[in-house]
Structure formats: C-alpha cells, structure tokens
Structure 1
Amino acid sequence: MSSVPFDQLDGHIWMDGQFVRWADAKIHVLTHGLHYASGVFEGERAYGGEIFKLTEHTERLHESARILGFTIPYSVAQIDDACRELLKMQGFRDAYVRPIAWRGSEQMGVSAQHNTIHCAIAIWQWPSYFDPAQKLKGIRLDMAEYRRPDPKTAPSRSKAAGLYMICTISKHAAEAKGYADALMLDWRGQVAEATGANVFFVKDGKIHTPKADCFLDGITRRTVIGLAKDRGLEVIERAIQPEELEGFEQCFLTGTAAEVTPVSEIGQYRFEVGEIAKTLMLDYNNAVQPKHAIAAE
C-alpha cells in the first residue's frame, strides 16, 4: 500500500453521480454519517481489470442501506457502471474498491429523515491486507475484549459503519501487542469472526465455521465454502465454543481484503498452515482471476 496519506492520493472519486478530483471529494463536518454512523459501505477487489462479484456487492450495499432505513438514489446497475468506469479512469488492473453511502448534513440529531443520501466510490491500489511474508507462515491473532452484539441490539446483517467501531478498537489493541488481528466472540461467548474477516477451522479433514447469525455472512466466505464443497470437503456451519480451538488443526480467515489467509496462532492456541488452507488459498486465487485472463494463459 502507498505510504501517501489517503486524502492525498491522485486520481478521481465518483461522488453523487460525478467524477471529481480526489482532493475535492469532501463532505461537511456536520454530516449525519460522521456523527451518528448512518452510513453503509462495501469492500471489493479488482483482479486483472475486473471487479470480483461486483453486482453481488452492490446489491448488498443497497440491502445494508435498506436495513438502516434509507434508499440509495442510484440503482445497482448505475453503481456497477460507475465502479467499472472509475477503475478504468484510475488506470488500475488490480485494486481495492470502496463504495459508500451515507446521510448528509441537512438535519443534525438522531432523527434525520430529510437528509440527502449521498453515495461515493473510491478505488486505490492495496496489494495485501496482511504482511505477505507473515501471511505465508500464518498470521497471529489475539483474543478481542469486545464481542459481536446480539442481532436484537444492532443491525448485524448490514455492512454498516457503526458496527466496525469495536473492530477498530480490537485490532488496534492486538497490533499494540504484536499480533496481526484479533478473534472476536459473540454476545453468547461463542467464536464469531476476526475484526474484518470470517474465520474457518479444520479438524480431521472437515471444515468448521461459525454460523453467521450475528455477523456479516461475507461474500468471500460464501465463495470459499463453495470452493471447498467443489473439492468434496465437508463444511459444517455451527456454534463453536472457544475451548474447541485447542482441538482444531488448521485455521484461516476469509474476506475481500484478507482473501484467504492462514492463521498460525490465536492466543494460546497453535495451528499448522496445512494443505486444506493452502489449497483453498490457491483455489480462491484462481477463482478471482477474470475468465479471459485464464483463457489467455
């Protein structure tokens, strides 16, 4: 990733239907999305000039907004087209794509039914979420203090900005202790996910993953489950207790940013970077490549 601050990158950002210079993509300090977290976003990746599962991401952006009680004033097709056009304008083949929608600044207070709904897309180069060398050896996770909330207390099925506050706190705390990330439990004390990625475990050739009933059912998560089943691997979605970590042989994370990342350690528990994790990492890398690029090889 570039060492240049994000607000000083070059290029353009699509904002409310227009392409504007990166430095000119600004909002007012009293924007409702800043004060009350009334914003939703997506994380996507482009590989070889094509954005992986773009429409699926855009549909989820719309659904997240619906859950938060607002409607994005641009259709799925319009946002898809804007993402593709902006990718070309930026001149990137491999890049990270960040669409976001939020309530504006007309009203200040918890109630903001009449605020304008804004939408923007930014694209930048982001090679790897975790250190590439460490990723091959398996990253180390701490145990997070905060837990994923009860769905009755937060809109857990949306990719809403406010849900990531405890993720930032937890990741910062883990990094301060030398870890790459943190594993979060849910409000029941069951294993949930990492701060920005879903988690999988392997035991006796079977893959186990927490049931996504209080956190985001990631698009990468679903993709990797499909890839595993294509190989005849059994995938069990269930409640996982933290004491079960001692019995698992392998562990890996999945997410748009994380892709498929093996884990070697979670607190006191150790895991091998085994064949199933390595195979799914390779299968995912192959799956995200554009079909025309594969055909050309």
Structure 2
Amino acid sequence: MISDIAWADGSFVRCDEMSLSPATHSLSYGTSVFEGIRSYGGNIFKCEDHVERLRRSADVFGHTVPYSNADLTNLCYELLKVNKLADAYIKFLVFYDDSDVSFKAQGCSSKVVAIALPFPSKSASEPYRLATATWRRAPASCHPYQAKTSSTYALSYLSYHQKAVGYDDVIFLSTTDTVCESSGSNVFFIKGDDLFTPTTDLALAGITRRVIIDDLCPRLNVSVTERDISYTELESFDGAFLCGTAMEITRISQIDEIRYKTSALVGALATEYHNLTNRRSAP
C-alpha cells in the first residue's frame, strides 16, 4: 500500500488525484528509470548514493532532472514527514510524458515523481530458493545494465512469473552461462571464509552490494573477489546470499538442485548491516 501523498515535480499531491495519459511515452517504450530507497526510524540510508544513481540512470535515457541532489534528498525527508512514516520504502520514478506517441520522444518532458510506503526493517527471514531463469541476460553491449530502468525489470517480471513452483525467485545467467543476479538483487557466494560475487557487467551495481564489499567485509576481516562465476561452479560453494535495498541480506538455501547449508558468515553480515542501517542519525 503506497502512501497517501506523493511528490510530483515540486509539489505534494494526493496519489488518488494523480492521472496518467494512456499516450504517456514511457508506458509504450520502457523509457522510465527509477530508484528505491529505505528509511529506518526516519533516517534514510545512503540517500545521496541512491539519488546520484537515479541521476545517472536518467542521463542514460536523456531525461532532465531539474533538481539538485540536495533538493531530492530533502524532499525524501519531507515525503516521510507528510505521510507520517519512519520505516519506509521511497521510490522515485522519472519518465517521459505524452507529447509524442512515437518512440522518438520529440517534445516530451521528463516527469519526476516520488512515492513512499510503509516498509519495516525485517527480522531474520526464511532463506530463498532460486531457479535458473528461462530468459538469459544479453551481453553488455546490448543493454544499459547500469541504468535502473523499467526495461531491465520487464525481463525480471517475466522470469519471476515463469519460475518453477516452489521457488522464491530466479537467478539470471548470461548467454555464456555465467551468473548475473536474481530478479532484483545482487548475489554473493561463500567458500570457507571468503566471498565471491559476479562482476556488474550484466547486473546493476547495487548500493547494498558496495556496502558489503567496502564497509561490512573489512569489519569482519572477510575477503571479497569480484569475478565471473560459471554456473558449473555453484556446487563448489559452501553458501550463498542475496542483497539489495529491499532484500537487505537474505540467505539462499537452494539454486535449482544445489543446496547450501546455513552459514555463520551470512548471519554476521546481516547483523552488521542491521546495526549500520538502524543508526539513528540526523539527515
């Protein structure tokens, strides 16, 4: 359930009073970009990093975002305030309007909208079971994977709804059978006391992923290797987990027929992440 009040191009408006033309360019051509941000106890985690990634995604599609990063950060806090939310998920959407129904977007303007919904910090969650997606990730030369765009997640939608019964999510492979990511989260694998994660050539460079690599692993004296990981390697790992803004850190118990044991390292990382995100600091 989304919040009652959204922010749209500089104004707060009621969500039920907003309208969208069926001729909206981004509905037809997948030219929208978005960003998801979490707040914990009223403190927004890595807000500036998310806002900067939104801007980079918008640049890929030629969108104009006429607000500074500070403006967008401040409006996130205002959005929480007007909706009386503390633990929340804030979603930005940047899209082209309905000035041109062809794919060229001539005369279209970029619209910037933000909504929020209650999203409490989760406690220990059930591990995820992943099935290999039917669809493959095309080479990096074929798609802008570093833009958080609706066109990428269209394939996530298809694959998620086509997954085998009994599985929680899918894992994407490349056309050369290397591991990419899940439908919406980065993935890490464990071997002994070391972590391995795919490169981000065919996956979004997640902010939570970077927090794990740059902040959490040094605290726990854990080494991380970023490299291509072949599907045939998966049986050799001791454990695995997903990570993302909404997912936080969630253990993987199974990929197809490959099963992974519970790992103390996943628990330690999850605890460190919880401690980091739940600091009560001022914006």
TM-score after normalising by structure 1: 0.91
The answer to whether residue 186 in structure 2 is matched with residue 188 in structure 1 is no
- Pairing 1:90–2:83 present: yes
CA distance in 2 between counterparts of 1:254 and 1:159 reads 16
Amino acid at match of 2:258: Y
Q: Contact (CA 8 Å) 1:73, 1:117: kept in 2 or not?
A: no
2:246 equivalent in structure 1 = 257
Q: CA deviation at 1:237?
A: 0.4
> Structure 2 CA distance, aligned partners of 1:253 and 1:58?
22
**Does residue 22 in structure 1 map to residue 15 in structure 2?**
yes
> Is 2:104 the counterpart of 1:104?
no
Helix, strand or coil at the partner of 1:152: helix
Give RMSD over aligned pairs.
1.6
Matched, 1:122 2:122: no
Taking the TM superposition and a 5 Å limit, the aligned residue runs for 1:1-297 are 6=1, 9=2, 11-127=4-120, 135-136=125-126, 138-174=127-163, 177-226=165-214, 227-292=216-281
Distance 1:37 1:141 in 2: 27
2:4 and 2:189 mapped to 1: Cα distance? 41
Gaps of 5+ in 2: none
* Percent sequence identity over aligned pairs: 36
Q: Is the 8 A contact 1:219 1:255 kept in 2?
A: yes
Distance, in Å, in 1 between the alignment partners of 2:3 and 2:150 is 25
TM-score, length of structure 2 as denominator length: 0.95
Shift of 1:128: 6.7
| Other structure's SS at 1:69 match | coil
Give, as a single letter, the amino acid of the residue that structure 2 aligns with 1:245. Answer: L
Give 1:61 deviation, angstroms: 0.4
Instruction: Extract unaligned runs of 5+ from structure 1.
Output: 1-5
Distance 1:10 1:222 in 2: 29
Q: Deviations over 1:61-82 (max 9, x none)?
A: 0100111122212221221111
Q: Distance in 1 between matches of 2:138 and 2:186?
A: 16
CA distance in structure 2 between the partners assigned to 1:280 and 1:200 by the alignment:
12
For the structure 1 residues 284 and 10, does the alpha-carbon distance in structure 2 shift closer, same or farther, using more than 3 Å as the test? closer
Alpha-carbon distance in structure 1 between the residues aligned to 2:141 and 2:230: 21
* Number of equivalent positions: 281
Cα distance between partner residues in 1 of 2:70 and 2:3: 26
In the TM superposition, what is the alpha-carbon distance from 1:222 to its structure 2 partner? 0.3
Spell out, residue by residue over 1:182-214, the C-alpha distance to the aligned partner (whole angstroms, 9 max, x if none). 111123220010000000000121100001112
> 2:140 is paired with a residue of what secondary structure?
coil
The answer to whether the 8 A contact 1:38-1:102 is kept is yes
Q: Per the alignment, in what secondary structure is the counterpart of residue 141 of structure 2?
A: coil
Q: Give the 3-state SS of the residue equivalent to 1:278 in structure 2.
A: helix
- Per the TM alignment, residue 34 of structure 1 is displaced from its structure 2 partner at its CA by 0.5
Native 8 Å contact 2:3 2:115 kept in 1:
no
Q: Once the two structures are superposed, what CA deviation does each residue of 1:109-140 show, in whole Å capped at 9, x if it has no partner?
A: 110142011000000013478xx67x34x211
